[in-house]
Amino acid sequence: MHMFKAKAILTDIEGTTSSISFVRDVLFPYAAQHLSMFVRANAQDPAVLTQMRAVAQEVGVAENNYEAIIATLLQWIAEDCKATPLKALQGMLWEHGYKNQAYSAHVYEDAVKQLQAWHTAGIPLFVYSSGSIQAQKLFFGYSEFGDMTPLFADYFDTTSGAKQEAASYQRIAEAMHLSPENTLFLSDIAAELDAAKAAGMQTCWLVRPQDNAADDAAIASSQHPAVRSFSEIAISL
């Protein structure tokens, strides 16, 4: 059990509250399978058009070159690229899947129980993920445990900055109206924890056996307290 004195909690999703395999084996293939048809069918939708223009500008092709734009997006999916236009379009696609009951988002039961307990105790909860804010809300809105969105005060994505840059966490702390040292950041990625710590936040490393191959030596030598479950995290206000 690790005790932290914090006024708020900022959590990652993939590999932290939820399994990596759900994103990798369910969400990514769904987006890849439906992307081409979705982009072509909705190319005049302002929200879709904005993201297509961003992709075109990024790779230097014409905005109406759908083939090149779609090929780029599919390549980014295969590479798990954190590009903001891709994440926005994936969010739109995943909304279709959730609402049509193609799947429900996986969340670890220990995370559900602890998040509910912290919320009940009056501890503000925030999410920071590379997935778009829309995708985050859909994820928790259509979880295997029902609608979890009432638990969270706000959501942050890569529009706040890259997750491995300290400045991103400073911006988020400002948006939460909290000093970084009063915030506990939870993640399964050491580089993200390093960035949050550099910004002044407290950190906790989620090392889930299903998702993380870190051995005992790596855990023992880490500068971040490590746990295998949310049940091992205690908060003191």
| pLDDT recorded at residue 36 | 94
Q: Give me the chain's average pLDDT, please.
A: 93
* Contact present, 202 and 183 (Cβ < 8 Å): yes
> Taking Cα atoms as reference points, which of 163, 111, 129 lies closest to residue 27?
129
Condensed to tens digits (0 to 9), the pLDDT of residues 49-87 reads 999 999 999 999 998 999 999 999 999 999 988 898 998
Task: Please report the pLDDT score of residue 141 as a whole number.
Answer: 97
Smallest CA-to-CA distance from 14 within 212, 146, 222, 160 is with 212
pLDDT of amino acid 177 = 96
Give residue 80's region: left, alpha or beta (phi > 0; psi -120 to 50): left
Band of residue 168 on the pLDDT scale cut at 50, 70, 90: very high
3-state secondary structure of 183: strand
- The β-bridge relationship of strands 226-227 and 154-156 is unpaired
Q: What is the mean pLDDT of residues 176-193?
A: 96
- The answer to whether residue 213 scores a pLDDT higher than 70 is no
Domains assigned to the chain: 2-18+105-236 (3.40.50.1000), 23-99 (1.10.720)
Among 66-75, 81-90, 98-107, 111-120, which is the least confidently predicted range? 81-90
Within 10 angstroms of residue 176's Cβ, the number of other Cβ atoms is 19
Contact assessment for residue 16 and residue 204, using Cβ atoms and an 8 Å cutoff? no
> Is the pLDDT confidence value at 210 over 70?
yes
pLDDT given for residue 104 in this prediction: 96
Residue 215 predicted with pLDDT over 80: no
Residue 212's pLDDT band (boundaries 50, 70, 90)? low
pTM of the model: 0.85
